[in-house]
Amino acid sequence: MAQISLTFPDGNAREFDAGVTPAEVASAIATSLGKKAISATVNGTHWDLQWPITEDASIAINTMKDEEPALELIRHDLAHVMARAVQEIWPDVKVTIGPVIQNGWYYDFDREEPFTPEDLGEIEKKMKDIINRRDPVTTETWDRPRAIAHYEANNEPYKVELIDAIPGDEPLRMYWHGHWQDLCRGPHLQHTGQLPGDAFKLMSVAGAYWRGDSDRAMLQRIYGVAFRNRDGLKAHLHMLEQAALRDHRKLGREMNLFHMQEEAPGQIFWHPDGWRIYTTLQDYMRRKQYAGGYVEVNTPQVVDRKLWVESGHWDKYQEHMFIVEVDEEHAREKSINALKPMNCPCHVQVYNQGLKSYRDLPLRMAEFGSCNRYEPSGALHGIMRVRGFTQDDAHIFCTAEQIEDETAKFIELLASIYSDFGFDKFDIKLSTRPEKRVGTEESWDQVEAALENAIKKTGQAYEIDPGEGAFYGPKLDFKLTDAIGRVWQCGTFQVDPNLPERLGATYVGEDGAKHRPYMLHRATLGSFERFIGILIENSAGKLPFWLAPRQVVVASIVSDGDDLVHEVVGALKDVGVWAEADTRNEKINYKVREHSLAKVPVILAIGGREVENRTVTVRRLGQKQTTTVSLDEIVADLAIEARPPDQKQS
């Protein structure tokens, strides 16, 4: 038999018969390694212990100590074990697919009866049972007709469909966990006993469309999470609890920021404390945009259908628009309008008033544009995904030559804004020309190059997403990462020659002829509503002082302090700090607890000693120790602290 040479991670090589399996290699090294082995990495590919190796290769034997392959195998094998458990309990359930996902796996089933939470417990028990059986995992390669015949005989139509979708030249691999069989690419563990029976949990069951297609059957998906050991699972569950504590819907209620109700689904009733965040944010954005060379406009909410037909929205976007029909008394027919879902067509109307010269470009037109979109009910989520919202929108009208410069300017503005909120790092995605597109290859070349050069000029990291651009132009997406590692797409930048064309925007060039401007759609925060939701979750409600809806509570310890409390509140208000008096008949312990839970960043306490010395005792949120300072000093300090980041120096 031919010999092959396998090279180990330490650089040593050893000869084996061609066709040797990693299981045999591991056992040849040490019997104990043969037992501990879970998989191999062969030439960088994750390799089942049973797959033969036929050529010279590099090889590493993986054990549970190797985190990445271990988690992959645990989650993947658990998906199979779960499917097996389900079919052992309910033999008529049809299996489909069950991939590994972040932190765990899911498996989709076709079953008439819905799975209940109690069922999950039962499945989990059965899974532990299967793990305890230490069933061997074995594999075989089948030819197509045999596999299809097998699944047809077993009434598993989804598997047949999956086989049809696998490219013809790929071998079909079958895996057995004990007697239970599944079509699977692998790799897998040696036996079910290698699975950590105490480090997984079935989390939830939910509907999911077969092959992600909403026109096809709705299956039942069971989600599970798994780790290498019990501590990993515990840490994950703890993390989920922490994330739930940050939920902006919960904090919004607790902090009395806003509410929503049945009569206006997907729309927000802002309470005073929430609206203060909103207006502070909007004031800040207005200053940043003004400094960035933007002009601000405001355009109508209710606009006649005619404009939406011209812009193309009536055709493509109608199902997402709120349509308003008005029966005017003397009109021959009803007037049909729509609430604007976007601002761009209105901005072109402003642009089109009067003749524009090339000297007017670039024209950066901003609007805090109040938009309404009829989002599908299932998409609504707190204040993050709503039907009524306000974008920090702007459209830059410019020439082709100006695109690169305008892109770079925008990225710089965006970076400066994000860093003011503590998001120092963000990712840029450049989406390029899709299959179906309009415009010449040259213009795509030019515009894509302009965007890429602009990003390079700013030195920001980026990646390219080929084919994901709009049909008329490429775009940039900006994603920031929050305090607990979640990624949010907020900023966007899109090159559009199409809408100026449709709505007839022109400018007079140096040559005296009319030309078509480009339109750059751009937003930094996305929508104020969603961005506030992100800020709340990012900070767990403890917003930075300048954005905190309640900045200072001045609390009396004894009623003899009440007069000074009111004096301090007045002094703070005079310098622009939001201060409230708490002279209620309660003990200081009670007041401190209540305002701390309400996430008020600064509590100033005033008792007999403070009255005597005209001082206040300062307690900061999250700190136990207090300091006593003079009234003048604290007012001056907090006045500076309350300034928005763009007004810090000066």
Partner RNA sequence: GCUGCUGUAGCUCAGGGGUAGAGCACUCCCUUGGUAAGGGAGAGGUCCGGAGUUCGAAUCUCCGCAGCAGCACCA
Active site residues: 344, 373, 391, 393, 395, 475, 521
Query: The tokens of 138 are what?
Result: 């074995």
CB of 197 to RNA, least distance (A): 25
Helix count and strand count (H, E) for the chain:
20, 33
Taking the complex as a whole, how short is the minimal distance between the CB of residue 496 and RNA, in angstroms?
A: 9
Q: What is the largest CA-CA distance in the chain?
A: 99
- CB of 381 or CB of 479, closer to RNA: 381
**52 to each of 18, 40, 49, 309, 375, how far by Cα in Å?**
8, 11, 8, 63, 53
Closer of 39 and 343 to RNA (Cβ)? 343
The tokens for 232 are: 């990993």
Closer CB to RNA, 152 or 586, in the complex: 586
Place of tokens 């209710």: 302
- How near is the Cβ of 476 to RNA at its closest, in Å? 13
Smallest gap, in angstroms, from Cβ of residue 82 to RNA?
16
Cβ distance to RNA smaller for residue 109 or 175: 109
Dump strand ranges (E) for 342-472. Answer: 363-372, 388-398, 426-431, 462-465
Token pair, residue 598, equals: 């309400």
Question: CB of residue 366 vs RNA: minimum separation in angstroms?
Answer: 16
> What sections of 210-267 are H helices per DSSP?
230-245, 248-254
- How far apart, in Å, are the Cα atoms of 149 and each of 143, 152, 159, 608? 10, 5, 11, 89
Adjacent-strand bridge partners of 59: 42
Residue located via tokens 């019997």 = 31
Closer residue to RNA in complex, CB, 210/275? 210
Question: Residues 434, 466: contact at Cβ < 8 Å?
Answer: no
- Do strands 462-465 and 602-606 pair parallel, antiparallel, or not at all (unpaired)? unpaired
Q: How far does Cα 36 stand from its chain's mean position?
A: 38
Please give the residue ranges that form the binding site for RNA (CB under 7 A): 114, 116, 204-209, 212-214, 218, 220-221, 223, 249, 253, 260, 262, 265-266, 313, 316-317, 341-342, 344, 375-382, 385, 470-471, 556-560, 585-590, 592-593, 596-597, 603, 605, 607-610, 617, 619, 621-622, 624, 626, 628
Q: What's the min distance (Å) between Cβ of 421 and RNA?
A: 21
Residue 307's nearest CA partner among 333, 334, 343 is 343
Q: Is the CB of 131 or the CB of 386 nearer to RNA?
A: 386
Q: Kindly state the smallest distance separating residue 628's Cβ from RNA, in Å.
A: 7
How far is C-alpha 292 from the geometric centre of its chain's CA atoms?
Answer: 28
Tokens for 311? 């812009």
| Alpha-carbon gap, residue 206 to 378, rounded angstroms | 13
Q: Could you tell me the smallest distance in angstroms from the CB atom of residue 545 to RNA?
A: 16
Residue closer to RNA, measured from CB, 194 or 617: 617
Identity of the residue, 293 or 497, whose beta carbon is nearer to RNA in the bound complex: 497
Strand order across the 518-527 sheet:
295-296, 363-372, 388-398, 518-527, 487-496, 475-481, 426-431, 462-465
